[in-house]
């Protein structure tokens, strides 16, 4: 087990090294250097710049030293929490990123806190009553909610609860709990159907397995069969899916964050990309990859832990 974790951590470090290198390489082309100059001095000023002035500017910014040196400096900077500066917002990228991650983290926390119990309960319930009315109703509902795009759900919810009933703010420009109810609800509705259907399929499959027959025919109460025998095996597959939702909650929620004007990670990345705020894009991409790799790591280790056939082989 320890060996496996070490192995995965090492792989993770390797992936991050490769990604950071590629990321730096992409943003190190002359074109992007020019973009940096535009960000720094303004487009008009750059257009009038002479070649030697431009070189002087590069030297001043430390952009004319050899590639590996700049890459090294960049990495050392990151290690010290220095991701560069945002030209658009005139703030440290590290600070911006941290703030956005916290906000998205809050959003993700609430989405998970509501979505997972809801999806698991409905999924398990549908799975153990496969083919019956309850199952069909749940399956129908989850398909409907998953099929509606987030933007549509967001609009409908806003129209009803913010504009119609006036219970909730339409824009999430505040820190109170009421500001995140609508974005959380939108995301939960969209995502729960997916996880619920995964759970249902997994439970239904386990229910038909021979060891469940053994459990029933050894005469233990049905509740115990479900709680102890079915769930333990049926939740292995959905677990992986759930952890991977973390990924989606970080970078896949751009639409919802932008729609509700919620200052999270997705919105930060979108704004920076539209403005050409290079250091922000670079740092945000790196953070997204890190989260992706981390969630993969967690799901791998968790899967191994949940599945004794892998754990002890």
Partner 1 sequence: MSMASDAAAAAPAPKPGEGGSEVPVLECRNLCISYFTRAGEIPAVVDFNLKLMPGESHGIVGESGCGKSTVALAIMQYMGKNGRIVGGEILFNGRDMREMNEEELRQIRGSQIAMVYQEPMASLNPAMRVGDQLAEVPIYHDGATKEEALARARAMLESVRLPEPDRILRSYPHQISGGQQQRVVIAMALLSSPKLLLLDEPTTALDVTVEAGIVDLIREIADEYGTSMIYISHNLGLILETCDRITVMYSGEAVEVGTVNDVFDAMRHPYTQGLFASIPLPHADKNARPLVAITGQLPLPHERPPGCNFGPRCDHFLAGLCDSGEIPMLPITGDDRHYSRCVRIEEIDWQAAAGEGIVKSAAPPGDVVLKVDEMTKHYEIEEGAIFFAGEKKTVKANERLSFEAREAETVAIVGESGCGKSTFAKVLMGLEEATSGEVLLGNVELGKMPVEKRSPETIAKLQMIFQNPFDTLNPSHTVGGQIARVIKKFGVEKDEEKINQRVLELLDIVKLPRDFAKRRPRQLSGGQKQRVGIARAFAGNPSVVIADEPVSALDVSVQAAVTELLMDIQRENRTTLLFISHDLSVVRYLADRIVVMYLGQIMEQGTTEEIFSPPYHPYTEALLSAVPIADTKVKKRHIVLSGEIPSASNPPEGCPFCTRCPYVIEGTCETVPPPIRAFGPGHLIACHLSEETLKAMQPVIQIGEGPIPAEADRDAEKGEQVSPVAAAESERRSDV
Q: Which of residues 107-136 bind partner 1 (CB under 8 A)?
A: 131
Q: Which of residues 187-216 bind partner 1 (CB under 8 A)?
A: 209-211, 213-216
Q: Which stretch binds partner 1 (CB under 8 A): 96-104, 191-199, 221-229, 241-249?
A: 221-229
Report the C-alpha gap between 264 and 111 in whole angstroms: 14
Report the C-alpha gap between 264 and 277 in whole angstroms: 16
Nearer residue to partner 1 within complex by CB, 100 or 212: 212
CB of 3 to partner 1, least distance (A): 7
Q: Is 313 in the site for partner 1 (CB under 8 A)?
A: yes
Nearer residue to partner 1 within complex by CB, 117 or 221: 221
Question: Is residue 65 left, alpha or beta, with left meaning phi > 0 and alpha meaning psi from -120 to 50?
Answer: beta
Nearer residue to partner 1 within complex by CB, 170 or 306: 306
Report the C-alpha gap between 110 and 16 in whole angstroms: 28
- Site size toward partner 1 (CB under 8 A) is 30
Q: Is 2 in the site for partner 1 (CB under 8 A)?
A: no
Q: Is 6 in the site for partner 1 (CB under 8 A)?
A: yes
Question: For 91, which DSSP code?
Answer: E
Report the C-alpha gap between 15 and 234 in whole angstroms: 31
- Secondary structure of 126-156 in HEC code, one letter for each residue: HHHCCCCHHHHHHHHHHHHHHHCCHHHHHHH
Q: Is 223 in the site for partner 1 (CB under 8 A)?
A: no
Nearer residue to partner 1 within complex by CB, 46 or 226: 226
Q: How is the chain split among helix, strand and coil, in percent rounded to 5?
A: 80, 0, 20
CB of 233 to partner 1, least distance (A): 5
Q: Is 44 in the site for partner 1 (CB under 8 A)?
A: no
Give the one residue of 26, 174, 222, 227 binding partner 1; rule: CB under 8 A. 222
Cα torsion 61, 286, 79, 102: sign = positive
**Is there a contact between 85 and 275 (Cβ–Cβ < 8 Å)?**
no
Binding mask 89-108 for partner 1 (x = CB under 8 A): --------------------
């Amino acid at each position: 087990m320890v060996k496996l974790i070490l192995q995965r951590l090492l792989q993770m470090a390797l992936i991050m090294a490769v990604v950071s290198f590629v990321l730096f390489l992409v943003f190190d082309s002359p074109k992007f250097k020019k973009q940096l100059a535009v960000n720094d001095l303004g487009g008009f000023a750059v257009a009038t710049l002479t070649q030697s002035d431009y070189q002087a500017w590069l030297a001043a910014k430390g952009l004319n030293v050899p590639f590996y040196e700049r890459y090294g400096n960049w990495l050392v900077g990151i290690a010290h929490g220095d991701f560069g500066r945002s030209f658009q917002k005139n703030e440290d990228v590290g600070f911006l990123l941290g703030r956005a991650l916290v906000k998205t983290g809050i959003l993700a926390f609430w989405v998970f806190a509501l979505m997972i119990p809801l999806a698991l309960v409905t999924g398990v319930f549908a799975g153990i009553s496969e083919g019956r009315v309850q199952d069909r109703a749940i399956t129908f509902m989850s398909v409907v909610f998953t099929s509606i795009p987030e933007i549509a759900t967001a609009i409908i919810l806003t129209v009803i609860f913010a504009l119609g009933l006036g219970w909730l703010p339409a824009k999430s420009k505040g820190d109170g709990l009421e500001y995140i109810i609508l974005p959380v609800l939108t995301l939960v509705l969209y995502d729960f159907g997916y996880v619920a259907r995964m759970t249902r399929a997994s439970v239904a499959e386990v229910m038909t397995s021979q060891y469940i027959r053994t459990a029933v025919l050894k005469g233990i109460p049905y509740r115990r069969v479900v709680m102890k025998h079915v769930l333990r095996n049926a939740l292995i597959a959905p677990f992986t899916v759930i952890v991977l939702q973390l990924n989606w909650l970080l970078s896949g929620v751009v639409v919802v964050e932008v729609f509700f004007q919620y200052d999270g990670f997705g919105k930060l990345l979108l704004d920076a990309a539209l403005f050409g705020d290079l250091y922000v894009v670079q740092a945000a991409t790196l953070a997204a990859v890190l989260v992706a790799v981390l969630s993969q790591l967690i799901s791998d280790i968790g899967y191994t832990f949940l599945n004794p056939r892998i754990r002890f082989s």
